[in-house]
Structure 1
């Protein structure tokens, strides 16, 4: 049962990754399941620790502008991870 809940996400990532490989934008040898794990880890940490970080660092992490920054950072990290050297030099 639990496997079927994430099957659609893995299928979608597999398709995106295949298209990126075909276009020469993504590097070879990545596992879509591991990519899902990476994205989930980066996203979950920000949600699960938002109150702690906000309190410790006196920073309102849930503010829309801070959420946009975090989203941009996570997006950049994932794209740098999957991208080829040529793709990275264009950014």
Structure 2
């Protein structure tokens, strides 16, 4: 068993750690969103299309996952269809 003094000491240590972690969390700054103009986006998409056949399947998957946040699907006349896409 643990003595009352040891228990208090350990609890004090944990409270101190908790305060440190909370301070670290508060010190984090959210990342600013990067905005690209349409011309940059156009050239990136052209490059992706041009090089798509050269990519491995895992690279294709990673690329799509880095661009697409969520795909909303539904059925239209019993056919599964993408209704909308959310991007990062």
Q: TM-score higher than 0.5 here?
A: no
* Structure-2-length-normalised TM-score: 0.27
More helix by share: 1
Please say which structure displays the higher CA radius of gyration.
Answer: 2
Q: Going by fraction, where is strand more abundant, 1 or 2?
A: 2
TM-score when normalising by structure 1 = 0.27
Identify which of structures 1 and 2 has the higher relative contact order when contacts are C-alpha pairs closer than 8 Å and 6+ apart.
1
